[in-house]
């Protein structure tokens, strides 16, 4: 199950990483210059695309980490209770200081 999650994270991350490059290509004219409606539109688009690329990079890194890390330590087991090992006892308090 963990390998499926890591592969999905990597694929989604790659899509998010490549999406801004494709839209940048679609905005260029025959001279290789990007065209925008206004300066504000250009700044907003670049900020949005930068955040998308950053999110894609984070997802790729998480997916690779999830793929490499043993299943015992992966993110998919964080919410699940861990069974106690035999012989493990909680430390007891001998004194209470008031």
pLDDT in tens, 74-86: 665 555 555 555 6
For 93, the token pair is: 């308090």
> Do residues 63 and 13 make contact, with C-beta atoms less than 8 angstroms apart?
yes
Inside any domain, residue 81: no
| Residue numbers of the domain that contains 62 | 2-76
Inside any domain, residue 41: yes
pLDDT in the model for residue 25: 85
- pLDDT tens for residues 48-92? 999 999 999 999 999 998 888 776 666 655 555 555 556 656 666
Q: How many C-beta atoms lie closer than 10 Å to residue 79's C-beta?
A: 6
Inside any domain, residue 85: no
Give the number of domains in the chain: 1
CA distance 98 to 15: 59
Inside any domain, residue 89: no
Inside any domain, residue 90: no
- Contacts (Cβ under 8 Å, ≥6 apart) of 8: 63
Percent of the chain with pLDDT over 90: 31
């Amino acid at each position: 199950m963990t390998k499926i999650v890591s592969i999905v994270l990597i694929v989604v991350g790659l899509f998010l990483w490549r999406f801004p490059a494709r839209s940048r290509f679609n905005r260029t004219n025959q001279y290789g210059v990007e065209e925008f409606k206004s300066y504000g539109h250009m700044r907003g688009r670049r900020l949005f695309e930068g955040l998308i690329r950053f999110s894609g990079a984070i997802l790729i890194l998480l997916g690779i980490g999830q793929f490499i890390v043993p299943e015992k330590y992966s993110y998919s087991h964080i919410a699940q209770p861990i069974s106690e090992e035999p012989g493990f006892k909680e430390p007891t308090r001998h004194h209470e200081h008031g």
